[in-house]
C-alpha cells in the first residue's frame, strides 16, 4: 500500500467505526482531494460526512472547532501545509487553548491533515515544513509519519485523540520512499517493509519513536521523508548509525532519544525545515541537557537553509545525501 492509500484506508476505517468522524476541506469531496487522499469517501459515507469547503483555511479550522464542540471528530484537510498560515489564529489562539482556558469543559478533538515538505518542484508555496511553528505552541500535538504503516496507524491514533493534532504528510513519499537522489528514478512502496499495511483497524500510539536501524557509531534523529534519505545515505556510506524516526514531535519520545544518544555518544539531527528556531534546535538542546556527559562530539544539524524554498535550486536546498554524508563524516572525525 502506498502512503496515500494508507491514509485513505485510515480515514475509511475510522469513518466506518465512528459516525462522529467527518472529513472536510478544499476539493476533498467528490474529487477526493488533489492528492486523492480522500478518494471514494464521499461516495461511501455521504455528503454530510465528507464535504468540500469554501477556500478559507481559517474558516475550515474555526468551523472544525465548532463541530468538535458539538461532539464530532472533524478531520480537516489543509490542501498544502503552506496554506495553514491563514488558519494560524484559529489553530494557535483557539484550538490549542480551548481545553486549557475552559478547564476541560470544551475540547477541540480535530486532526488537521496536510501534505508538507519539498522535493516536488512546488516552489515557495508548495514546499514548506512548518512543523516548528506548531511544536512551539502549547496544546497541539504534531505527528509526522514516514511509512504507509505508520501513516495509517498514527492517523487512526490521532483521530481518536481528544486533543488537536497536526498531521503532516510528507508528500514527497506519498507514492514511494525517496532516497534523496533526485537524479535516480522514483521508487514505489512495493516491497518496502513499511508498506505492509493491514486492511483493518490498528493504532500506532502517539509519542513513540521507531528505531529504524540499530547502530553503535552515532544516533541520527529524523522524521518524515528525511527518514528515507538518512537510511539510504547511511547504507551507502556503510556507517553503523542508529536511526530514530521520531514519528511524533509533540509528544516526543524523549526516552528513545536519550537511550540512543547515551549509547552512541554522537548525535545528528536531520530535518527539511529551516534551521533557525527549527525543531532541530529543540532536539539539540534536549540532547545536550540530558546526554551532555555522554557526548563525544558536538550535536550536528542538517536542515533546510534559512531562505524561502527556491524553485530551480530545489536540489541544493533539499537536505540530501551530500549534506547528510558530510555531517556524518564531521561527527565521526571529532
Partner 1 sequence: MGDRGNSGAGMAGNEREQRRNLPPLRLHVPEPRFRPGDVADFSDLEIPAAGMMPRPDEGADAATMRDLAYGLVRVLDEDGQAVGAWDPKLPPETLLRMLRAMALTRAFDQRMFRAQRQGKTSFYMKSTGEEAVSVAAAAALASDDMCFPSYRQQGVLIARGWPIIDMMNQIYSNKGDRLKGRQLPIMYSAREASFFSISGNLATQYPQAVGWAMASAARGDTRIAATWCGEGSTAEGDFHSACIFASVYRAPVILNVVNNQWAISSFSGFAGAEATTFAARAIGYGIAGLRIDGNDALAVHAATRWAADRARANHGPTLIEHFTYRAEGHSTSDDPSAYRSADEGSQWPLGDPIARLKQHCIALGIWDEDRHAAMDKELAEEVRDAAREAEKNGILGHGLHHPMETMFEDVFEEMPWHLKEQQQAMLDEWKAAGL
Ligand X SMILES: Cc1ncc(C[n+]2csc(CCOP(=O)(O)OP(=O)(O)O)c2C)c(N)n1
Question: Which positions are annotated as active-site residues?
Answer: 126
Taking the least distance from each CB to partner 1, the nearer of 194 and 304 is 304
User: Could you tell me which residues are beta bridge partners of residue 213?
Assistant: 243
Question: Under the criterion CB under 6 A, does residue 59 sit at the interface with ligand X?
Answer: no
Please choose which of partner 1, ligand X, none residue 202 contacts, taking the beta carbon within 5 to 8 angstroms, the exact cut-off set by kind. Answer: none
* Number of other CB atoms surrounding residue 44 within 10 Å: 11
Show Cβ contacts of residue 304 under 8 Å, excluding neighbours closer than 6 positions: 118, 129, 271, 272, 273, 274, 275, 278, 317, 318, 319
CB of 269 to partner 1, least distance (A): 15
Q: What is d(CA 128, CA 132) in angstroms, rounded to the nearest whole number?
A: 11
Stretch that binds ligand X, among 62-70, 79-87, 181-189, 206-214 (CB under 6 A): 79-87
Give the list of residues 6+ apart from residue 246 with CB closer than 8 angstroms, or none. 144, 209, 221, 222, 223, 252, 253, 257
Least spacing, CB of residue 126 vs partner 1, in Å: 7
Nearest-angstrom CA–CA distance, 96 and 180: 34
Length of the chain, in residues:
334
How far is residue 24's CA from residue 73's CA, in Å, rounded to a whole number? Answer: 11
Site residues for partner 1 per CB under 8 A: 20, 26-27, 29-31, 34, 47-48, 51-59, 69-71, 82-83, 85-86, 106-107, 109, 121-126, 162, 275-276, 305-308, 310-313, 316-317, 322-323, 325-326
Q: Which is nearer to ligand X, 33 or 180 (CB)?
A: 33
Name the closest residue to ligand X (Cβ): 83
Question: Which of the choices partner 1, ligand X, none does residue 100 contact, using the CB cut-off of 5 to 8 A by kind?
Answer: none
Is residue 77 at the binding interface for ligand X, with CB under 6 A as the rule? no
Q: Does 51 bind ligand X (CB under 6 A)?
A: no
Cβ closer to ligand X: 23 or 244? 23
Q: Which of 3, 10, 24, 26 binds ligand X (CB under 6 A)?
A: 26
Nearest approach in angstroms of CB 38 to ligand X is 14
**If binding is defined by CB under 6 A, does position 325 make contact with ligand X?**
no
Closer of 138 and 276 to partner 1 (Cβ): 276
Q: What Å distances lie between residue 118 and 12, 149, 224, 272, CA to CA?
A: 27, 22, 11, 8
The bridge status of strand 248-250 relative to strand 218-222 is unpaired
Residue 55 lies near ligand X (rule: CB under 6 A): yes
> Can you tell me the distance from the alpha carbon of 258 to that of 252, in angstroms, rounded to the nearest whole number?
11
- Among ligand X, partner 1, none, what does residue 59 contact (CB within 5–8 Å per kind)? partner 1
CB of 306 to partner 1, least distance (A): 6
In the complex with partner 1, which residue's Cβ is closer, 82 or 169? 82
Pick the closer one to partner 1 by CB: 47 or 285: 47
Interaction partner, residue 69 (partner 1, ligand X, none; CB < 5-8 Å by kind): partner 1
Question: Parallel, antiparallel, or unpaired for β 210-213 and 241-245?
Answer: antiparallel
Cβ atoms 15, 45 nearer than 8 A = yes
Spatial distance between the Cα atoms of 173 and 318, rounded to a whole number of angstroms: 14
Residue 238 C-alpha cell reads as: 556503510
Q: Figure out which of the listed residues 79, 111, 147, 248 binds ligand X, where binding follows CB under 6 A.
A: 79
Which parts of this chain interact with ligand X (CB under 6 A)? 26, 55, 57, 79, 83, 86
Amino acid at each position: 500500500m502506498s502512503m496515500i492509500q494508507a491514509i485513505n484506508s485510515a480515514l475509511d476505517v475510522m469513518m466506518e467505526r465512528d459516525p462522529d468522524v467527518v472529513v472536510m476541506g478544499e476539493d476533498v469531496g467528490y474529487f477526493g482531494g488533489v492528492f486523492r487522499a480522500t478518494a471514494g469517501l464521499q461516495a461511501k459515507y455521504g455528503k454530510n460526512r465528507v464535504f468540500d469547503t469554501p477556500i478559507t483555511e481559517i474558516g475550515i479550522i474555526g468551523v472544525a472547532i465548532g463541530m468538535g464542540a458539538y461532539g464530532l471528530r472533524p478531520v480537516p484537510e489543509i490542501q498544502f501545509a503552506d496554506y495553514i498560515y491563514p488558519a494560524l489564529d484559529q489553530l494557535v489562539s483557539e484550538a490549542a487553548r480551548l481545553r486549557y482556558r475552559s478547564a476541560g469543559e470544551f475540547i477541540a478533538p480535530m486532526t488537521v491533515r496536510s501534505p508538507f515538505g519539498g522535493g516536488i518542484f512546488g516552489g515557495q508555496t508548495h514546499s514548506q515544513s512548518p512543523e516548528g511553528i506548531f511544536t512551539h505552541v502549547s496544546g497541539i500535538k504534531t505527528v509526522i509519519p514516514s511509512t504507509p504503516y505508520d501513516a495509517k496507524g498514527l492517523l487512526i491514533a490521532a483521530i481518536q485523540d481528544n486533543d488537536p493534532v497536526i498531521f503532516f504528510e510528507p508528500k514527497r513519499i506519498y507514492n514511494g520512499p525517496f532516497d534523496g537522489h533526485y537524479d535516480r528514478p522514483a521508487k514505489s512502496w512495493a516491497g518496502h517493509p513499511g508498506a505492509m499495511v493491514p486492511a483493518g483497524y490498528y493504532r500506532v500510539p502517539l509519542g513513540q519513536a521507531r528505531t529504524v536501524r540499530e547502530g553503535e557509531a552515532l544516533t541520527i534523529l529524523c522524521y518524515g521523508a528525511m527518514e528515507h534519505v538518512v537510511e539510504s545515505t547511511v547504507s551507502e556510506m556503510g556507517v553503523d548509525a542508529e536511526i530514530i524516526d521520531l514519528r511524533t514531535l509533540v509528544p516526543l519520545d524523549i526516552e528513545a532519544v536519550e537511550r540512543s544518544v547515551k549509547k552512541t555518544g554522537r548525535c545528528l539531527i536531520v530535518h527539511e525545515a529551516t534551521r533557525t528556531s527549527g525543531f532541530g534546535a529543540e532536539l539539540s538542546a534536549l540532547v545536550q541537557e540530558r546526554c551532555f556527559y555522554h557526548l563525544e562530539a558536538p550535536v550536528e544539524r542538517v536542515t533546510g537553509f534559512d531562505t524561502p524554498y527556491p524553485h530551480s535550486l530545489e536540489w541544493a536546498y533539499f537536505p540530501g545525501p551530500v549534506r547528510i554524508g558530510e555531517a556524518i563524516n564531521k561527527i565521526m572525525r571529532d
